Chain A
Amino acid sequence: MSKPFTPKVVTANALLEGDVVYLMANDQWSRHLDEAEVIEDAAHGDARLLQGNSEPDLVVGVYLADVKIEDGKPQPTHFREEFRTRGPSNYNHGKQAELV
């Protein structure tokens, strides 16, 4: 039996600012993980990765990142992805500054 599929999101960095972005269901890119489309199966994941990679003039380094669902919203499962949702821990810079 194959391993159960872990929910995923498509993520990348914006070409111009380098900021972390997530692919939404409407094919647009969001700066916020909670707006990302959550992918529930491998075949759909492949298709969405292709979609993400089809916009090299907008984003760089497209990949699938694992998430878990909490209160209906995707949350990172790995600390690296958690840092990507907010920014560095030594200054209030990056996304965490913009959210306030």
Chain B
Amino acid sequence: MYQYNDFDRDFLAERNAQFRAQVERRIDGSLTEDEFKPLRLMNGLYLQLHAYMLRVAIPYGTLNGGQMDVLADIADKWDKGYGHFTTRQNIQYNWPKLKDVPDMLDALGEVGMHAIQTSGNTIRNVTADHFAGAAKDEIADPRPTAELLRQWSTDHPEFQFLPRKFKLAVTGSENDRAVIKAHDIGIRLLSRDGEEGYEIVVGGGLGRTPMIGKVLRDFLPKADLLPYCEAIVSVYNLLGRRDNKYKARIKITVHENGIETIRDLVEERFALLKPQFGGVDQEMLKGIEAQFALPEFTTGPTDSYTAAYDADPVFRSWADTNLTAHKNDDYSIVSISIKKHGQTPGDATSAQMREMAAIAREFGHDELRISHEQNVILPHVHKSHLPAIHARLKAADLATANIGKISDIIACPGMDYCALATARSIPVAQQIAIRFDELKLEHDIGDLKIKISGCINACGHHHVGHIGILGLDRAGVENYQITLGGDHTETAAVGERAGPGFAYDEIVPAIERLIGAYLEHRENDTERFIDAYRRLGLAPFKAALYPEAKANAA
């Protein structure tokens, strides 16, 4: 993985020293809150409902054991002993004190991490497929591209005051696990006639006005990436609306001007910018790529895995659910669920973080990933180690076999923490997970994506959930709207609203009725919820959600 050089270290140290002085000036009264707020946001510090919140970037979701240990240390020393992993491959600390934040940032800087541009109208943390470098279906590792984009976008002088925030995601596989079509720019690595390049998608996004991104260039030669992205962002910087916050994202710019106009403007700008790059960026990319070389895979028998798989039903269930095919047949990708039934999706205690770091060091080539689905990944595990890893995870309460299932729910922090939220998300996720665990239906239901947001901004990706839940404030009471048929993958789609919302104490029974209808109507137990929905449409699910309406109509 990428190692900071002297330039990176010096830049970060200087930036942290600046912020330390800014915090001091805020506390001694030299800076007003209006002056300080943009400065703290540029460094990832929010003021939430009950406390400050520090959002730390985990670029493209990649970190090593030493970095995870520091995340745990920060949680213990300056927070309440846990951290919350988010849908943007960040970690959030919910309880820092203002005066401690500079020390937290220095601690992060020691291991090459930061909170820069995790907020504000800038280019945010660049995200990527959490199976990058390991997935069997991968064409190329997206992380060198993501790291190049991180370096280009960090402190980019032209892009510190964009009309609105700007998010980039990169995938190296046709099976999109990075939700690239719901990003301002989505980038997919591909190869055409032996030449490496990218498909560039623009103008996707969720939030108030969900839009699926449109292809801006179906093949961009590899060497043109930075000038082309710079062209897109600079066209947006001038054309994007600043008169209305809700119309300021590039998805609206693309929608209002049309993809052809945007394409023409970008190409025009690109022609001007391309000569300025002069190939230095490609030399840097070569250096970055070398740092993302695959680990030296070990060889050896995998009999111990097969033996455990045959003998231990608990291990077998976990292996069937939480493992993904690796490009090396003797290896597996392990998804560690940090969503034990009833726990807060995405939360890990400091002890759990240290144990995951230790397991990665011992068995996983010291590599960890954070997924946008709020789980932790061990990307490279020799199959012979899986029984030992499972035992260690079990002891740390980390062996829940629910990846991709009904209790593997994305949930934003919602009104339990977030100042923007209109309703709670976390307790809804907890109750759904507990209920279906009690019913012992999880594995019968099979693959299902439930995604919950506590406000229209859609941090919980509800629009692209097979079942999306949106928490709103309706006349001073929490109310939950259900959308159905969303899709976060390469066949991305925005879900359809099922009907009127449900009260806080009605939402879990409503989901139960919905699942009941699915189990009743599916063709067989391999037809997933989303496939049944596509085949049958809204009607049978709507009838299950609103039995009164059906009774009244009869």
Quick check: A88 and B417 within 8 Å, CB to CB? yes
A83 touches B95 (CB 8 A): no
Residue of B nearest to A66 (CB): B476
| B430 CB contacts on chain A under 8 angstroms | 90
Identify the stretch in B49-57, B264-272, B350-358 within 8 Å (CB) of chain A at 4 or more residues. B49-57
Q: Tell whether, in the assembled complex, residue B95 and residue A16 are in contact, meaning their CB atoms are under 8 Å apart.
A: no
In the complex, residue of chain B having the shortest beta-carbon distance to the beta carbon of A86: B50
Provide the bound-state CA to CA distance between A17 and B80, in Å: 13
* Given pairs A19-B51, A61-B47, A78-B476, 19 additional interface contacts (CB within 8 A): A15-B27, A15-B98, A16-B99, A18-B48, A18-B50, A61-B33, A79-B415, A79-B477, A79-B478, A80-B473, A83-B415, A83-B416, A88-B94, A88-B416, A89-B416, A89-B424, A90-B416, A91-B344, A93-B80
> Which of B27, B29, B48, B344 contacts A90 (CB under 8 A)?
B344
Q: Which parts of B233-288 form the interface with A (CB within 8 Å)?
A: none
In the complex, B426 has a CB within 8 A of chain A: yes
Which residues of chain A are near B98, meaning CB under 8 Å? 15-18
Chain A residues engaging chain B, CB cutoff 8 angstroms? 13, 15-20, 56-57, 60-61, 77-80, 83-84, 87-91, 93-95
Do the beta carbons of A18 and B51 come within 8 Å of each other? yes
**For A95, what are the chain B residues with a Cβ–Cβ distance below 8 Å?**
50
User: Is B97 interfacial (CB 8 A cutoff)?
Assistant: yes
Chain A residues near B302 (CB-CB < 8 A): none
Q: Which residues of B contact A61 (CB under 8 A)?
A: 33, 47
Subset of 8 A-B contacts with CB under 8 Å: A15-B27, A16-B98, A56-B32, A83-B415, A87-B50, A93-B95, A94-B51, A95-B50
**Chain B residue at minimal CB-CB distance from A94:** B50
Bound form: Cα–Cα A20–B94 in Å: 14
Residues of chain B contacted by A90 (CB below 8 angstroms): 344, 347, 416, 426-427, 430
Query: What DSSP secondary structure best describes chain A's contact surface?
Result: loop
Bound state CA distance, A93 and B51, in angstroms? Answer: 11
B434 to chain A, nearest CB (A): 13
Which 7 pairs, one residue from A and one from B, show the smallest C-beta to C-beta distance? Answer: A88-B416, A18-B51, A18-B52, A57-B29, A94-B50, A90-B344, A90-B426
* A95 vs chain B, min Cβ distance (A): 8
Cβ contacts under 8 Å, B29 to chain A: 56-57
B427 touches A89 (CB 8 A): yes
**For window 9-54 of chain B, which residues contact chain A by CB distance below 8 Å?**
26-27, 29, 32-33, 47-52
Contact B97 A17, beta carbon cutoff 8 Å: yes
> Complex: how many Å from CA A83 to CA B478?
12
Q: How many residues of B contact A (CB 8 A)?
A: 30
Cα(A98)–Cα(B358), bound, Å: 34
- Name which residue of chain A comes closest to B29, CB basis: A57
CB distance from A59 to the nearest CB of B (A): 9
A21 → chain B closest CB, angstroms: 11
- Docked Cα-Cα span, A61 to B427, in Å, equals 27
Shortest CB-to-CB span from B351 to chain A, Å, is 15
Shortest distance in angstroms between B125's beta carbon and chain A's nearest beta carbon?
23
Contact of B50 among A15, A56, A60, A84 (CB under 8 A): A84
CB-CB under 8 A from B33, the residues of chain A are 15, 56, 60-61
Question: Which of A16, A79, A88 counts the most B-chain CB atoms under 10 A from its CB?
Answer: A88
Question: In the complex, what residues of B have CB within 8 A of residue A60's CB?
Answer: 33, 47
Asked if residues A89 and B50 are in contact (CB atoms below 8 Å), the reply is: no
Q: Could you tell me the distance between the alpha carbons of A89 and B428 in the complex, rounded to whole angstroms?
A: 11
CB distance from B481 to the nearest CB of A (A): 17
Asked if B49 contacts A83 (CB within 8 A), the reply is: yes
Chain B residues lying within 8 Å of A56, measured Cβ to Cβ, are: 29, 32-33
Bound Cα distance A87, B439 (Å): 31
A20–B98 alpha-carbon span in the complex (Å): 14
- Docked pose: A95 CA to B95 CA in angstroms: 12
- Contacts A83-B415, A89-B424 given; indicate if A19 touches B47 (C-beta within 8 A): no
Q: Give the contacts of B405-425 with A (CB-CB under 8 A).
A: 415-417, 424
Contacts of A18 on B, CB cut-off 8 Å?
47-48, 50-52, 97-98
Q: Tell me if B50 and A19 are in contact (CB < 8 A).
A: yes
A93 surroundings in chain B (CB, below 8 A): 50, 80, 94-95
0/1 string, B84-105, CB within 8 A of A gives 1: 0000000000110111000000
The chain A residue with its CB closest to the CB of B30 is A57
Q: How far is the CA of A57 from the CA of B415 in the complex (A)?
A: 26
Distance to closest chain B CB from A60 (angstroms): 5
Q: Which B residues are in CB contact (< 8 Å) with A20? A: 49-50
**Cβ–Cβ < 8 Å partners of A94 in chain B:** 50-51
Determine if A84 and B97 form an interchain contact, defined as CB atoms under 8 angstroms apart.
no
Nearest-CB distance from A37 to chain B (Å)?
A: 22
Nearest CB on B from A61, distance (A): 7
A78 to B475 CA separation, bound complex (whole angstroms): 9
Pick the contact of B476: A19, A57, A77, A89 (CB < 8 A): A77
Residues of B near A57 (CB, < 8 A) are 27, 29
CB distance from A93 to the nearest CB of B (A): 6
Closest to B50 in A: A94
C-alpha gap A61/B46 in the complex (Å): 12
Q: Which residues of B lie under 8 Å from residue A91 when comparing CB positions?
A: 80, 344
> CA of A25 to CA of B33 in the docked complex: distance in angstroms?
24
A61–B34 CA distance with the chains assembled, in angstroms: 10
Q: Which residues of B contact A15 (CB under 8 A)?
A: 26-27, 33, 98
Chain A residues, Cβ within 8 Å of B427: 89-90
The answer to whether B415 and A16 touch across the interface, beta carbons within 8 angstroms, is no
CB distance from B352 to the nearest CB of A (A): 15
In whole angstroms, how far apart are the Cα atoms of A83 and B422 in the complex?
A: 12
> Which among B48, B97, B478 is the interface contact of A16 at CB below 8 angstroms?
B97
Q: What is the minimal beta-carbon distance from B27 to any residue of chain A, in angstroms?
A: 7
In the complex, A20 Cα to B419 Cα: how many Å? 12
CB distance from B258 to the nearest CB of A (A): 40
B277 to chain A, nearest CB (A): 43
In the complex, chain A residues whose CB is within 8 Å of the CB of B424: 83, 89
**When chains A and B are docked, how far (Å) is the Cα of A72 from the Cα of B95?**
32
Complex Cα–Cα for A18 and B122 (A): 25
The interface residues of chain B lying within 8 Å CB-to-CB of A17 are 51-52, 97-98
